Amino acid sequence: MSERLSDHTTTRVGGPARAWVEARTEAEAVAAVRAADAAGDPLFVLGGGSNTLMADTGFEGTVVHMGFTGVEVLPAEGAADGAGDVVVRVAAGHVWDEAVAWTVEHGLAGVEALSGIPGSAGATPVQNVGAYGADVSQVLVSLRAFDRAAGQVVELSAEDLRFGYRDSVIKRSMLEDGSPSPRWIVLSIDLRLRRAEEGAEPTAPVRYAQLARALEVEEGADVSLAQVREHVLALRASKGMVSDAADHDTWSTGSYFTNPIVPATVRVTLPEGAPAFAAGTDEDGTPLVKLSAAWLIDHAGYGKGFGLPDAPRREGDADGTGPDGRGLAGGRASLSTKHTLAVTNRGGASTEDVLTVARAVRDGVKARFGVDLHHEPMIIGTRL
């Protein structure tokens, strides 16, 4: 069976896969990965396609789509039916947001702030997904994965995964050897969640100022899980950060660039008002700060809708009109009209169109502020 990646990615771009395997069980996924590796065939493992930009020429190899689902509370000593920690196992192909909805419905606290992130559960540890003051490393206890190097199913603890900001050992394993797939193919993830006492309303502390304001509570206040989920989904929708087929602002990979982490000395070279948050130190002890990619993009003159001929332009803004007057990439790709961090397909865009807009933004930020922006999605078969 052959499929086009544009039918399986949230940006709706990408050419055909030479071979496509729909893995409906863990065993089918492992067998397909083993077979591709044994044949020396390039392998790409696909979940929801919400962090993938595949070349227009497609993939000369096997794409294994993780299509198996399931969420269950694991039996644990002492946890029984009372309050306390429970461990929930989610199959790799389960839609992440459906798993989050399930935990909220079952009164289990821990992932409610990660509501609305598109894609599969199995991909969440790959880049340690996060939003609104939470990330998956805070709750992930361990995962089961097929280790392609060892040829067997293994269990990795949170410690083994060496999580970082939008990073893990799984992600690094593909970047380091240049392969389009990681060494470990995630089969299921185990999350430690908290069950409220019988009769008590399940709540969680709000750890993000913007979310606290939306909920009209102080940061740190306990709020019901259902309310957190509802407000996170509303905030995300207002920024085009939940998938919606009817809204081109969501035809993206979400945030295209990560927030740059740079030596603290870089901060003084930036204009006053540029957000910077302490981000620890590097191996040599140099203090680091995390900058806001959205702020840098906006202040370098790349506003909402950049790339569209009719986008509102402020004085000094970069020209997003292409040579034919129809927009930088023929008007087919642009920054979201709701958020400067997302590069979107306006309909009919190719991967190259999306990258054309992303390159202009990356180069413009470098020229204006001297800061390198790094892309968040996995780019396969082409480069930014």
Which are the catalytic amino acids? 166, 255, 376
Q: Name 273's Cβ contacts closer than 8 Å, sequence gap at least 6.
A: none
Q: How far apart are CA 16 and CA 57, in angstroms?
A: 7
Taking CB under 6 A as the criterion, the residue among 6, 50, 138, 259 binding ligand FAD is 50
Q: Which helix (H) or strand (E) holds 297?
A: helix 293-299
Find where tokens 């990560």 sit.
258
CA separation for the pair 279, 78 (Å, rounded): 38
Count, residues near ligand FAD per rule CB under 6 A: 36
What track of x and - describes contact with ligand FAD for positions 177 through 206 (by CB under 6 A)?
Answer: ----xx--xx--------------------
Does residue 227 belong to the site contacting ligand FAD (CB under 6 A)? no
Q: Can residue 250 be called a binding residue for ligand FAD (CB under 6 A)?
A: yes
DSSP letter at 300? T
Question: Of 70-78, 252-260, 284-292, 361-369, which segment contacts ligand FAD by CB under 6 A?
Answer: 252-260
Candidates 6, 51, 259, 345: give the one binding ligand FAD (CB under 6 A). Answer: 51
Among 14, 42, 61, 122, binds ligand FAD (CB under 6 A): 122
DSSP assignment string, 55-90: -TT-EEEEEEEE----EEEEP-TTTTTSSEEEEEEE
The pair of structure tokens assigned to 172 is 């690094």
Q: How far is the CB of 316 from ligand FAD (least distance, A)?
A: 29
Question: Pattern of binders to ligand FAD over 354-383, x per CB under 6 A?
Answer: ------------------------x-----
Answer for the pair 298, 340: CB distance below 8 angstroms, yes or no: yes
Q: Give yes or no for residue 53 binding ligand FAD (CB under 6 A).
A: no
46 - beta bridge partners? 65
117 binds ligand FAD (CB under 6 A): yes
Does 111 participate in binding ligand FAD (rule CB under 6 A)?
Answer: no
Distances from the Cα of 158 to the Cαs of 45, 103, 175, in angstroms? 21, 20, 20
Residue placing its CB nearer to ligand FAD in the complex, 52 or 351 = 52
Q: Is 285 helix (H, G, I), strand (E, B) or coil?
A: coil
Question: Binding to ligand FAD by residue 118, rule CB under 6 A?
Answer: yes
Which CA distances in Å does 357 have to 191, 324, 345, 373?
Answer: 37, 15, 10, 14
Residue 48 to residue 66: CA distance in whole angstroms: 8
At closest approach, how far in Å is the CB of 46 from ligand FAD? 5
52 binds ligand FAD (CB under 6 A): yes
Closest approach, Cβ 141 to ligand FAD, in A, equals 17
345 lies in the binding site for ligand FAD (CB under 6 A):
no
State how far the Cα of 91 lies from the Cα of 94, in Å rounded to an integer: 6
Q: Which of 193, 191, 133, 126 is nearest to 164 (CA)?
A: 126
Based on CB atoms, which residue is closest to ligand FAD, 3 or 85? Answer: 3
Contact residues for ligand FAD, defined by CB under 6 A: 10, 44-52, 66, 92, 117-120, 122-124, 126-127, 129-131, 170, 181-182, 185-186, 241, 243, 250, 252-254, 378
